[in-house]
Amino acid sequence: MPLAGGRPPPADDFLPQAPPPQRPPFPFFFHLLHTIERLYERFSLHTPQAIYNPQAFPWALELESHWQAIRAELNAVLPNRHLIPNFQDISPEQQAITQDDKWKTYVLYAYGARANHNCRECPKTTSLVERIPGMKTAFFSILAAGKHIPAHRGPYKGLLRAHLALLVPKPTNACRMHVNGMEARWEEGKTLIFDDTLTHEVWNDSDDDRVVLFIDFSRPMRAPLSWINESIMRVIRWSPYARGAVRRFQKWYEQHGIAADVKL
């Protein structure tokens, strides 16, 4: 039986060993941080796991209560699909896992930088994500029909990832994700929270778009790791890696006649 909306699965819901993950060429700095990942788990306020119960995060329930308003803003954005960049257009290291135009990202926040133009277009969504403790990144993740994202892992253990499902096509088994050998499926209006540093893989085998509100937020941890984590996040935000992504984002929008108006 699959996992829907982040609800804990029965013990027999484990899948065969996932293939080796793709490793996007993130800066060496992130690879150094991989050596202390067990320390992050030890100081976590929640028992480390692949997929978390969203009820452990009160903000997730608030987000779910407004999901239809968020989807209404998404629906206003989607008709201008040509004005939404592919993920790898902004973040070239994603070319390790996506090379086509079937994964688009409508960014509100990235590494703490605010995309003011897009935030003005989606004021309700922006207001809601800004209330999430430790929110660093938020965007509409648009996965076109037939898209497969191969097994990969995220770069930094100091974050957890949330997906608020906004558009989930039928049949229900056509859109799915494997996280560390467990299968998860999205359910419209429900939040899925997981550790993206574990190997995960995504399929949209349907004939329609799958869209989630994609959020990265600081892993809740005890001090002093929580302080260290926020310091590392600030270093990442002002690093050449993150600032390069901001420059590419601004340039892409300028080439399409839009002032992105990014606030670092």
Q: Tell me: the pLDDT tens digits for 193-239?
A: 999 999 999 999 999 999 999 999 999 999 999 999 999 999 989 98
Reported confidence tier of residue 28, pLDDT bands at 50, 70, 90? low
Provide the H-helix boundaries in 43-81: 58-65, 67-77
For residue 23, the model assigns a pLDDT of 54
Distance CA 239, CA 242 (A): 6
Token pair listed for 44 = 């976590």
User: Domains in the chain, please, with CATH?
Assistant: 13-263 (2.60.120.330)
Residue 15 φ/ψ, nearest 5 degrees: -105, 170
Q: 142: closest CA among 86, 85, 176, 104? A: 104
pLDDT tops 70 at residue 9: no
Q: Report yes or no: 55 and 64 within 8 Å, Cβ to Cβ.
A: no
For residue 172, the model assigns a pLDDT of 82
CA-based end-to-end distance of the chain = 43
Q: Report yes or no: 166 and 214 within 8 Å, Cβ to Cβ.
A: no
pLDDT tops 80 at residue 24: no
pLDDT tens-digit series, residues 165-180: 999 999 988 999 999 9
Q: Report yes or no: 3 and 15 within 8 Å, Cβ to Cβ.
A: no
Beta bridge partners of 45: none
Q: From the CB of residue 223, how many other CB atoms can be counted at a distance below 10 Å?
A: 9
Amino acid at 18: A
pLDDT tens-digit series, residues 100-127: 999 999 999 999 999 999 999 999 999 9
